[in-house]
Structure 1
Amino acid sequence: MELTNVVEPVEDGRSYVEKINWPFLSELKDSPAEYKAGLDLALAKCWLWLHESGTYVRLTEAGAELFS
């Protein structure tokens, strides 16, 4: 969620998912399983919207409220 909040959106508030997963996996040194679990939780809590292609994510209003 924090990475999604700081990534520059490309259009319509959407961010490329690789702008989130790359730092999560390479810089934070977390595992793919942890990434998937976090993404699944954010989707289940309706904090993130995931495009059906899997290419983009967008913070929802509920997700944005976590940072206000």
Structure 2
Amino acid sequence: MNEITLRELMMIEDELRAESITAKTMNWCASQCQDAGMRSMLERMAEQHQLRVAELSQYFNRTDHVQ
């Protein structure tokens, strides 16, 4: 894989933060939701965002791709 620049890494980190905030917001919305179907859908969506954050974080924590 090609090395990424520090600027690209910073942009990825910004996106990771946004994904994390989105997951937390969806979990909060799910906790406020009275409809079981909607609550379940929001929880699944939040989980997908959390998994993306974990996968990308794990990838960047174990490799050295920065120029």
Query: So what's the TM-score if we normalise by structure 1?
Result: 0.33
- The answer to which structure has the higher helix fraction is 2
Higher relative contact order (CA 8 A, sep 6+): 2
Query: So what's the TM-score if we normalise by structure 2?
Result: 0.34
